[in-house]
Amino acid sequence: MIPLDASSIRLNILQKYLNIPINIHILQSVDSTNQYLKTIDHCAGISICCAEAQTQGRGRFGREWFSPPFENIYFSMRLTLNIKALQLSGLSLIASIAVLDMLMKLNIKKDTYIKWPNDILWHHHKLCGCLIEIVQTNPLELIIGIGINVNSNTKQQTENLIPRCSLFDITGQQYDRNFLIGILINLLLKNIHQFAKNGLVSFIPKWNRYDYLKDKQVSVVHSSSTITGVVTGIDHLGHLILLDKNGTTHNLSSGETTISYSKI
């Protein structure tokens, strides 16, 4: 196991991004890397926190994010962005696209998808999740938290969790997480830059390639009701577009999606 190390991560960050101050915090153990970045003082540039283990790793909908020590990536980035709160759904999608781009660079191309809004799946098993949290509005300061199962052998894990997988399960290789984190930072910053300049629309062709739900019939629990329909894609804000059996279109900003096999 190669330990997490700030200088090794830095070696993999492209020179053009090193012009921005990037403060890297490496911790042995922390409740949650997202939570940790919320507590630090505001500083210029970007702050990154990576931990060997999390004791209270959190996912969407307040779920636990299983975070065993020394195996995986528990990564958070805090930054200030000149975007509107309305654009946040789109931002969470482009963070997931950065992870998929990283998988492409590792030559992991087959059966990898993003399940809206930001579950990264391989062979229907969860490889990665993202959790975006707002620190303050005006200017918008936020934390992008990413958990990637890297070197875990998930077949040996007995915890009762949703079906998941790791990079090791996919390729049989062990990875240097410092290298992966460096690449992830580059791809996140590239996507954030493109997002701020050209908006989410510039990512839609890529999203369509990575979209797990496209043309599938899904049920979405949204504001205490369930809507069922066929996914036709995402709109310019990153909302999921569902076409129900009456031909009505629903643009959903959030919700838990389940593929439904019943007739509509």
The reply on whether position 131 binds ligand BTN by CB under 6 A is: yes
Task: Kindly tell me which residue out of 77, 79, 100, 130 binds ligand BTN, with binding defined by CB under 6 A.
Answer: 130
Q: How far is the CB of 261 from ligand BTN (least distance, A)?
A: 23
Stretch of 58-66, 88-96, 197-205, 238-246 lying at the interface with ligand BTN (CB under 6 A): 58-66
DSSP string for the chain: -PPP-HHHHHHTS-HHHHTS-EEEEEEEEES-HHHHHHHSPP-SSEEEEEEEEESS-B-GGG-B----TTTSEEEEEEEEE-S-GGGHHHHHHHHHHHHHHHHHHTT--TTEEEETTTEEEETTEEEEEEEEEEEETTTEEEEEEEEE--S--GGG--S--SSB--HHHHHS----HHHHHHHHHHHHHHHHHHHHHH-GGGGHHHHHHHBSSTT-EEEEEETTEEEEEEEEEE-TTSPEEEE-TTS-EEEESS-EEEE--S--
Q: Which of 9, 13, 22, 32 binds ligand BTN (CB under 6 A)?
A: 32
Sign of the C-alpha dihedral computed for residues 175, 176, 177 and 183 taken in this order? negative
Stretch that binds ligand BTN, among 5-13, 27-35, 108-116, 180-188 (CB under 6 A): 27-35
Residue nearest to ligand BTN (CB): 129
- Is residue 78 involved in binding ligand BTN (CB under 6 A)? no
User: In this structure, which amino acid lies at residue 162?
Assistant: I
Question: Any contact of residue 58 with ligand BTN (CB under 6 A)?
Answer: yes
Does residue number 74 form part of the binding site for ligand BTN (CB under 6 A)? Answer: yes
- Binding to ligand BTN (CB under 6 A): which residues in 100-119? 119
Interaction between residue 76 and ligand BTN (CB under 6 A): yes
Pairing of strands 73-81, 225-234: unpaired
Binding of residue 63 to ligand BTN (CB under 6 A)? yes
For residue 60, state whether it binds ligand BTN (rule: CB under 6 A): yes
The nearer residue to ligand BTN, 61 or 261, going by C-beta atoms, is 61
Residue with tokens 């990536």: 73
Site for ligand BTN contains 239 (CB under 6 A): no
- To the nearest whole angstrom, how small is the minimum distance from the Cβ of residue 19 to ligand BTN? 26
Identify the residue among 17, 59, 68, 260 touching ligand BTN (CB under 6 A).
59
Region of 20-28, 100-108, 141-149, 233-241 interacting with ligand BTN (CB under 6 A): 141-149
**Residue 182 interacts with ligand BTN (CB under 6 A): yes or no:** no
Residues in the chain: 264
Stretch that binds ligand BTN, among 145-153, 156-164, 207-215, 227-235 (CB under 6 A): 145-153
Cβ-contact 219, 257 below 8 angstroms? yes
**CB-CB contact of 152 with 168 (8 Å):** yes
Q: Which residues bind ligand BTN (CB under 6 A)?
A: 32-34, 54, 57-60, 63, 65, 74-76, 119, 129-131, 145-147
